[in-house]
């Protein structure tokens, strides 16, 4: 096992394998995922601590799978359910008290049980961030708050930056092998690197009103996670606590949409005006409203033209920013973090070449582009159809956005595979196609029902069926020859007492159960195998075993790791 690579301090310069600029949701996630792979990092954040307002409050399936890998899923669920009921819906109303216009999603977890062992959650960012930070600290991550990065540079040896205390002006110097910029949508690092943002024109100058008010009667016991509001006075959406006694209201446009100021809710807004917006959205002009804060922001859907510049990487809002419609922004950022972390870790440990890092941009930049397109689609159709449909892409299902499809040198297509060129794929029909997230299949793990998802996350995994015994010896040889870790997971027959076993699925007609659900889901013969990357994505697949299997697997790994 490779020893962890740690932070150091000498001669007034702190040295870290990875410097992370920005300690919000994505920066925290990068640090936690790196530490899970044995790589320490230093997180530099200009604010005094984690988020104080409930941004990014909808966490999708793939994000929860990653938090499950990090060992914090149960904590996250407990914290989420303390504030919001599970399985809430998304609808649209004229006012909270008034007529329902549309019911977009009756239940955010309806019909996904066959896709994953996890469930979507409504949860405020300021509650999730401390949980991630606590886990990162347990794994040895260091944090430096109240410091603003004032200078940074890079050369062949690494990255360098200077940070200044926001109050005292005290300067500190840092050196790292790599730098990850998680410094927000206005990213000074991205701007200095002259990386352009592409996408759609600005949609509105929006506001978020954080408030306390008794909306329980207007809520009428409905379990609604996101409530879009559309009337002649305000258009936006609510996120309310399950008590109905407070939450936040996002406002995109106000008044007559044809008036010049309709898309500038932020102009001259006051607490009094914000409280009136809440009343207009609830539909109760006598409602007592206490405004806690008003946050002004620009509604845009932009993605960076590239996510890497030498040894510097963009992640989260510095790489892409979208309207909150769809809830894609924070989730996409966490996926950035997860994708990048294992690649940096393998390069820093000497197990992969720097060519592997190129796949971060090749995989995540198209995902960013697809995400902003779908965010814009939902913004226009749900909140501002007057923007027109000329540039609006066709809507694709949320799970297609949540479970991305990758094409890069870290993905080896099947022999004779004809690519359909589509940027997305239905995860129910991916069948372990290289470049897709390895499917969830219920299996027995030590005699208890579990998921194949729980077998991934720490290292490469070669997963095979009980006819694939030859793969174990092949993998041991490759591990030794390439000096990397590959865990073999053999899914034995249902009658076996092995650690991992197929779980028979009884057919609807009550005929004999299918005894090979794993092999069927991964589209291999019982003697085939699938190489799953540390991020849970399929890197290579062999549908059967033959004399060339070892050389083919070694060749695939060499390419994936950027060592060729």
User: What is the mean pLDDT of the segment spanning 391-417?
Assistant: 95
In this prediction, residue 502 carries a pLDDT of: 85
In this prediction, residue 469 carries a pLDDT of: 86
Q: Where are the domains of the chain?
A: 8-78+125-199+303-400, 204-299, 412-560
In this prediction, residue 467 carries a pLDDT of: 83
Compute the residue count for the chain: 564
Q: What is the dihedral of CA 309, 37, 120, 316, to 10 degrees?
A: -20
User: What is the mean pLDDT of the segment spanning 465-474?
Assistant: 89
Distances from the Cα of 357 to the Cα of 13, 47, 261, 365, angstroms: 26, 30, 45, 13
Which residue, 479, 440, 467, is CA-closest to 529?
A: 467
- Residue 281 CB partners (closer than 8 Å, separation 6+): 95, 96, 229, 231, 234, 236, 238, 249, 251
Q: Taking a C-beta distance cutoff of 8 angstroms, is the pair 539, 465 a contact?
A: no
Q: Taking a C-beta distance cutoff of 8 angstroms, is the pair 174, 74 a contact?
A: no
Tokens representing 513 are 């159960």
- Residue pLDDT, tens place only, 116-136: 999 999 988 889 999 999 999
What gap in Å lies between CA 120 and CA 128, rounded to an integer? 14
In this prediction, residue 453 carries a pLDDT of: 97
Q: How many CB atoms lie within 10 A of CB 558?
A: 15
Q: Taking a C-beta distance cutoff of 8 angstroms, is the pair 99, 93 a contact?
A: yes
Taking the domain 204-299, which CATH number applies?
3.30.9.10
In this prediction, residue 1 carries a pLDDT of: 39
Distances from the Cα of 155 to the Cα of 2, 43, 164, 196, 306, angstroms: 26, 21, 22, 22, 19
Which CATH number is 8-78+125-199+303-400's, of 3.50.50.60, 3.40.640.10, 3.30.930.10, 3.40.309.10?
Answer: 3.50.50.60
Does the pLDDT at position 4 exceed 90? no
In this prediction, residue 20 carries a pLDDT of: 98
Q: What is the mean pLDDT of the chain?
A: 93
Does the pLDDT at position 512 exceed 70? no
Q: Quote the DSSP letter at residue 111.
A: T
What gap in Å lies between CA 521 and CA 452, rounded to an integer? 11
Residue for token pair 């009667």 = 217
Does the pLDDT at position 499 exceed 50? yes
Q: Taking a C-beta distance cutoff of 8 angstroms, is the pair 392, 341 a contact?
A: no
Does the pLDDT at position 255 exceed 50? yes
Which residue, 33, 141, 130, 27, is CA-closest to 79?
A: 130
In this prediction, residue 192 carries a pLDDT of: 98
Taking the domain 412-560, which CATH number applies?
3.40.30.120
Characterize 300-311 residue by residue with b for buried, 16 or more Cβ atoms within 10 angstroms of its Cβ, and e for exposed. bbbbbeebbbeb
What gap in Å lies between CA 206 and CA 253, rounded to an integer? 7
According to DSSP H, which parts of 182-320 are helical? 188-192, 216-219, 271-282
Does the pLDDT at position 518 exceed 50? yes
Q: How many CB atoms lie within 10 A of CB 419?
A: 9
pLDDT band at 514 (very low <50, low <70, confident <90, very high): low
Q: Which of 370-379, 383-392, 500-509 has the highest mean pLDDT?
A: 370-379
Helix (H) or strand (E) holding 533: none
- Range in 53-62, 226-235, 259-268 the model is least confident about: 53-62
β-pairing, 234-240 with 100-105?
A: unpaired
Helix (H) or strand (E) holding 537: none
What gap in Å lies between CA 156 and CA 177, rounded to an integer? 9
In this prediction, residue 105 carries a pLDDT of: 92
Q: Quote the DSSP letter at residue 202.
A: P
Tokens representing 190 are 């991205």
User: What is the mean pLDDT of the segment spanning 418-434?
Assistant: 96
Which residue, 93, 81, 96, is CA-closest to 128?
A: 81
What are the phi and psi torsion angles at 146 (to 5°)?
A: 60, 30
- Residue pLDDT, tens place only, 190-206: 999 999 999 999 999 99
3-state secondary structure of 440: coil
Name the percent of the chain lying above pLDDT 90: 85
- Residue pLDDT, tens place only, 133-164: 999 999 999 999 999 999 999 999 999 999 99
- Residue pLDDT, tens place only, 295-351: 999 999 999 999 999 999 999 999 999 999 999 999 999 999 999 999 999 999 999
Q: How many CB atoms lie within 10 A of CB 208?
A: 22
- Residue pLDDT, tens place only, 18-51: 999 999 999 999 999 999 999 999 999 999 877 5
Q: Taking a C-beta distance cutoff of 8 angstroms, is the pair 218, 282 a contact?
A: yes
What gap in Å lies between CA 404 and CA 374, rounded to an integer? 13
β-pairing, 500-502 with 246-254?
A: unpaired
What gap in Å lies between CA 219 and CA 417, rounded to an integer? 52
3-state secondary structure of 558: helix
In this prediction, residue 2 carries a pLDDT of: 47
Residue for token pair 């008044």 = 255
User: Read out DSSP for 144-201?
Assistant: E-SEEEEEEEEETTEEEEEEEETTT--EEEEEEEEEEE---TT-HHHHHTT--EEEPP
Q: What is the largest CA-CA distance in the chain?
A: 78
């Amino acid at each position: 096992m490779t020893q962890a690579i740690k932070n150091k301090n000498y001669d007034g310069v702190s040295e870290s394998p990875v410097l992370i600029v920005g300690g919000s949701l994505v920066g925290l996630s990068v640090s936690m995922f790196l530490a899970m792979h044995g790589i320490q990092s230093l997180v530099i954040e200009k604010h005094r601590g984690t988020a104080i307002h409930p941004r990014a409050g909808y966490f999708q399936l793939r994000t929860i799978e990653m938090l499950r890998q990090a060992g914090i899923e149960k904590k996250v669920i407990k914290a989420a359910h303390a504030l919001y009921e599970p399985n809430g819906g998304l609808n649209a109303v004229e006012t909270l008290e008034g007529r329902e216009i549309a019911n977009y999603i009756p239940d955010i977890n309806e019909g996904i049980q066959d896709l994953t062992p996890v469930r979507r959650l409504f949860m405020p960012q300021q509650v999730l961030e401390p949980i991630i930070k606590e886990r990162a600290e347990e794994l040895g991550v260091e944090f430096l708050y109240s410091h603003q990065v004032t200078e940074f540079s890079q050369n062949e040896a690494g990255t360098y930056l200077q940070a200044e205390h926001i109050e005292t002006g005290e300067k500190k110097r840092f050196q790292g092998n790599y730098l990850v910029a998680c410094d927000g949508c206005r990213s000074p690092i991205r701007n200095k690197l002259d990386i352009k943002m592409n996408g759609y024109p600005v949609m509105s100058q929006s506001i978020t009103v954080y408030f306390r008010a008794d909306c329980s009667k207007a809520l009428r016991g409905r379990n609604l996670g996101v409530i879009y509001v559309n009337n002649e006075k305000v258009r936006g959406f609510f996120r309310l606590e399950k008590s109905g006694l407070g939450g936040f209201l996002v406002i995109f446009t106000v008044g007559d949409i044809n008036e010049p100021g309709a898309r500038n809710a932020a102009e001259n807004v006051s607490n009094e005006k914000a409280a009136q917006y809440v009343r207009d959205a609830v539909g109760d002009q006598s409602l007592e409203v206490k405004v806690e804060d008003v946050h002004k922001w620009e509604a845009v859907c932009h993605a960076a033209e590239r996510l890497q510049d030498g040894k510097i990487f963009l992640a989260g809002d510095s790489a892409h920013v979208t309207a909150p419609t769809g809830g894609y922004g924070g989730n996409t950022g966490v996926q950035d973090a997860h994708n990048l972390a294992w690649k940096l870790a393998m390069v820093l440990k000497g197990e992969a070449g720097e060519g592997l890092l190129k796949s971060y941009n090749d995989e995540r930049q198209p995902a960013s582009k697809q995400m902003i397109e779908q965010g814009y689609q939902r913004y226009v159709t749900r909140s501002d159809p007057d923007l027109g449909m000329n540039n609006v892409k066709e809507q694709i299902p949320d799970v297609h956005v949540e479970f991305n499809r990758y094409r890069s040198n870290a993905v080896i297509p099947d022999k004779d595979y004809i690519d359909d060129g589509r940027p997305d794929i239905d995860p129910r029909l991916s069948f372990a196609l290289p470049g897709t997230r390895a499917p969830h299949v219920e299996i027995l793990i030590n005699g208890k029902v579990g998921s194949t998802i729980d077998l991934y996350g720490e290292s490469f995994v070669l997963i095979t069926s009980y006819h694939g015994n030859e793969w174990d010896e092949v993998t041991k040889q490759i591990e030794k020859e390439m000096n990397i870790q590959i865990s073999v997971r053999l899914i034995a027959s249902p009658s076996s007492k092995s650690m991992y076993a197929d779980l028979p699925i009884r057919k609807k007609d009550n005929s004999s159960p299918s005894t090979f659900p794993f092999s069927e889901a991964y589209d291999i013969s019982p003697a085939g195998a699938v190489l799953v990357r540390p991020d849970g994505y399929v890197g290579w697949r062999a549908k059967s075993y033959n004399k060339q299997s070892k050389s083919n697997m070694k060749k695939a790994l060499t390419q994936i790791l950027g060592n060729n």
